[in-house]
Structure 1
């Protein structure tokens, strides 16, 4: 298909990534680690940290992050093999028009997080530097548009920022963890701390899995650049199991030792206030640019445009407006609720790829694709209902039930079609 932009300029929002544009495992791992180093993930870890004894807390974090990493890695494998992002995979799973449902859910969730991150950066900078409150709104506008610069450039911009930010954040986290372990009295002291806010194991794993499952579902926006399925799986597990696990561990440690789950407050308590501001800035920027990039890719499919850079700026403007209006205060509960409805999208995509397409997609923009894939939409509804009503690990239930429902409906539909065809032949 011919279009006006140069190859790769817009990061292939509506077509497979060609072999010439594929990236190494190091490049991909850095970008994904920058994405998973996210302040909100530390708060999730903090909630777990105050609810369990030290050894049980480590087990909950291990299981939750392993489930999240495995989920994201399977989608990453599909993305690398096909060269497609989640928005384009959804066209096969839900249909040309049906895919707009997942575009809306995923795009809105990401721009909601973007609003939250923008507001958080502005408010905490004012708080920690003693600036006048009147600076808050101008800083929101500054960060709202500033954070999107690397996303505007594209994958190359995300990679260069991550090359600088990820090593710096790892060093800062290591310093903070070592001080926390010392302040907590070492392993013996940590093991002796009594939980203050009990929480069920299933609820805790759901929290760890669910907080970043939206990002895991859209990590395909980068893993589609992988040179092989193996590269994608390694990079995704490094980011979502190790990277996200590190974030939840920092939050849990802080909650245990300082009764704080926010990394900035923890660093202030440790006498690292200046480093805390730097950490927060890098932490948020490397996630903010990824979230607005996700929004842009979903938006390109929804509005059938290749102008990813324009959609990126529009996304930043919407996120900034939401931050200025104060919507971040009530968006978070809604975004977490959406975390229940996002995993079934991944479940349907997995089943659609392996069962219906036998690991071989066609042209994602083909007019031959149905407007609505009834099997995919029905399986998504079943998976979402199961996740919403489940007392167990909701995101995992959503993925498994949606995938199983798709496979069963697809196989049953094929059997009915074959029987009809045989009946017609007999006549």
Structure 2
């Protein structure tokens, strides 16, 4: 193999040092010596969940229910979301594997390729949809919102979002350790000013509601705000030093962190008439803090979008069984930037709907598989001869996705929910639960009884 001095610069840029393993282990278990503590994992996951869409959801639910009832629905919803993601994170920490590598256990070596497409392909689209969410406000802030300047900002922000993902977990950790404290302080400051402007807590709780939303509908909206993103959380939780650290990091990020953002949106949406409702930048601008709002928006989108780039990087590695993620990060990022330049941001709501229908059932199958089928006694990949297609997992996913599609806009099958927020309200949770139940049923009825085949595991396999 050529030495680094003999390797062309472009090749080192795309692949890194080929004499060394990829430090993020996209095709292998993360070894014990590379594991991280609770602060590191929590910071990366908190950066991931700090996304503007959660603010909008909080504002809409708060306006529809009133602030007091919204708090109850928020607590219930984030308890569900937090436990779901924390469980996935604990599984990932135990196995040291990305979501797509966990999917290899649940769906088979070829069945996992479909998971790569769902988990990686959708994130390429997400990357393109969200870049304009920071590029357009930046152009507006500087009074240069022309098509040419906006396009230049899309290119700039797209490259910056790729940069931290390009350097892997370490790059995202560094950004998150800077961004998360800033976002928390800005959020608390905005809440404090808003409460003062509305006349204190009595004014906040006394604000009238639009009505038309019940408790169950509100809970499903809360869960749906980031359940598809939560299914990707194992990509970073696999670096956790223990199952317990992975679980608590997931719970902190998706219960406390996401809940804080939802609450911030609800407070801002209750006090200020801005569009979109609860938008952190618009709220801070209304409070006379436009520059602070722009900084918060930049960090908000950046810490989410670099995670999206990382997700399609590791999915590409699994899909092509190539032990380098950088080529897929760069290729997927280039596609995402092109999508942003041609106006993909207009597809944000449809894209959220797609994610909510087709991603959570994957998480339902993985949790059912590792908890109730493998019973957390996970063999190393080297000790498993994976079936090409593990039909119990694939069929369970089909059932979950079908339920999600058929029950879009319903709290539970047959019970319609008000469309306060566009998109399928109950699809994510319904699909997740259906896939979980279906996989357990198919495994014990079909695979455990030898009716359909599964993986071959060496009799002396080492268990993680």
Shared topology, TM-score over 0.5?
Answer: yes
Tell whether the 8 Å contact from 2:62 to 2:266 is kept in structure 1 after alignment: yes
**Counterpart check, 1:21 vs 2:10:** no
Structure-2 separation of matches of 1:94 and 1:275: 46
Of 216, 220, 225, which aligns to 2:239? 225
**Counterpart check, 1:36 vs 2:49:** yes
Counterpart for residue 11 of structure 1: 24
TM (normalized to structure 1)?
0.93
Moved more, 297-306 or 173-182: 297-306
**Counterpart check, 1:404 vs 2:437:** yes
Structure-2 separation of matches of 1:381 and 1:322: 29
Aligned residue for 1:198, secondary structure, equals coil
Aligned residue for 2:64, secondary structure, equals coil
Tell whether the 8 Å contact from 2:175 to 2:303 is kept in structure 1 after alignment: yes
Aligned residue for 1:116, secondary structure, equals helix
Tell whether the 8 Å contact from 2:356 to 2:427 is kept in structure 1 after alignment: no
Of 249, 259, 263, which aligns to 1:245? 259
Counterpart for residue 334 of structure 1: 351
Aligned residue runs from structure 1 range 344-383, under 5 A: 344-364=361-381, 368-383=385-400
Deviation at 1:356, TM superposition (A): 2.6
Aligned residue runs from structure 1 range 156-305, under 5 A: 156-196=170-210, 198-259=212-273, 260-305=277-322
Structure-2 separation of matches of 1:338 and 1:286: 19
Deviation at 1:204, TM superposition (A): 2.5
Structure-1 separation of matches of 2:47 and 2:400: 30
CA RMSD of aligned residues (A): 1.9
Moved more, 223-232 or 196-205: 196-205
Structure-1 separation of matches of 2:318 and 2:47: 25
Q: Structure 1 residues 415, 346: CA separation in 2 closer, same or farther (over 3 Å shift)?
A: closer
Aligned residue runs from structure 1 range 127-146, under 5 A: 127-133=140-146, 134-146=148-160
Deviation at 1:403, TM superposition (A): 1.4
Deviation at 1:163, TM superposition (A): 1.1
Aligned residue for 1:148, secondary structure, equals helix
Structure-1 separation of matches of 2:255 and 2:21: 30
Structure-1 separation of matches of 2:382 and 2:336: 29
Q: Structure 1 residues 97, 182: CA separation in 2 closer, same or farther (over 3 Å shift)?
A: same
Tell whether the 8 Å contact from 1:112 to 1:328 is kept in structure 2 after alignment: no
| Structure 1, unpaired ranges of 5+ | 419-427
Q: Structure 1 residues 8, 258: CA separation in 2 closer, same or farther (over 3 Å shift)?
A: farther
Structure-2 separation of matches of 1:209 and 1:289: 23
| Structure 2, unpaired ranges of 5+ | 1-14, 413-425, 452-464
Tell whether the 8 Å contact from 1:86 to 1:217 is kept in structure 2 after alignment: yes
Moved more, 397-406 or 258-267: 397-406
Deviation at 1:213, TM superposition (A): 1.3
Deviation at 1:8, TM superposition (A): 5.6
Could you list the per-position Cα deviations for residues 300-342 of structure 1 after superposition, in whole angstroms to 9, with x for gaps in the alignment? 1112111211211112111111100102212431332331221
Tell whether the 8 Å contact from 1:117 to 1:284 is kept in structure 2 after alignment: yes
Counterpart for residue 78 of structure 1: 91
TM (normalized to structure 2)?
0.86
Deviation at 1:10, TM superposition (A): 3.9
Counterpart for residue 418 of structure 2: none
Deviation at 1:412, TM superposition (A): 1.1
Aligned residue runs from structure 1 range 312-331, under 5 A: 312-331=329-348
Structure-2 separation of matches of 1:9 and 1:411: 38
Structure-1 separation of matches of 2:155 and 2:396: 41
Q: Structure 1 residues 140, 414: CA separation in 2 closer, same or farther (over 3 Å shift)?
A: closer
Structure-1 separation of matches of 2:176 and 2:24: 17
Counterpart for residue 60 of structure 1: 73
Larger helix share, 1 or 2 = 1
Deviation at 1:297, TM superposition (A): 1.0
Tell me: higher relative CO, structure 1 or 2? Use CA pairs within 8 A at least 6 residues apart: 1
Deviation at 1:414, TM superposition (A): 4.5
Q: Structure 1 residues 6, 40: CA separation in 2 closer, same or farther (over 3 Å shift)?
A: farther
Could you list the per-position Cα deviations for residues 144-180 of structure 1 after superposition, in whole angstroms to 9, with x for gaps in the alignment? 1111111111111111111111111111111101001
Tell whether the 8 Å contact from 1:118 to 1:323 is kept in structure 2 after alignment: yes
Counterpart for residue 413 of structure 1: 446
Structure-2 separation of matches of 1:203 and 1:334: 20
Moved more, 366-375 or 217-226: 366-375
Q: Structure 1 residues 123, 366: CA separation in 2 closer, same or farther (over 3 Å shift)?
A: farther
Counterpart for residue 423 of structure 2: none
Counterpart for residue 416 of structure 2: none
